[in-house]
Amino acid sequence: MKTTEIREMSASELDSKLAGLKEELFNLRFQMATGQCENPMKIREVKKSIARIKTIQRQRELNA
């Protein structure tokens, strides 16, 4: 997910997207533990997306 896409989202959309990504990260970690994960690089991508969303949320909070 790109930062331009994230910046266009509203606060409620960001919250729901963040919750979805956290759930996806949990599932990916669970798959890694059981040896079923097909793409281990997906974990890295999800973590970066979570960080991007949190950064933009924090920037909005400071600007408000």
CATH number, position 20: 1.10.287.310
18, HSE (Cβ side, Cα atoms, 13 Å):
16
Name the pTM for this structure. 0.91
Helix (H, G, I), strand (E, B), or coil: what is residue 10? coil
With 90 as the cut, is the pLDDT of residue 29 above it? yes
Expressed in angstroms, the distance from the first to the final Cα of the chain is 24
**Residues counted in the chain:** 64
**Dihedral of CA 9/10/11/15: which sign?**
negative
Cα–Cα distance between 53 and 16 in angstroms, integer? 11
**What total number of domains does the chain contain?**
1
Q: Which domain holds residue 42?
A: 3-63
pLDDT score recorded for residue 23: 98
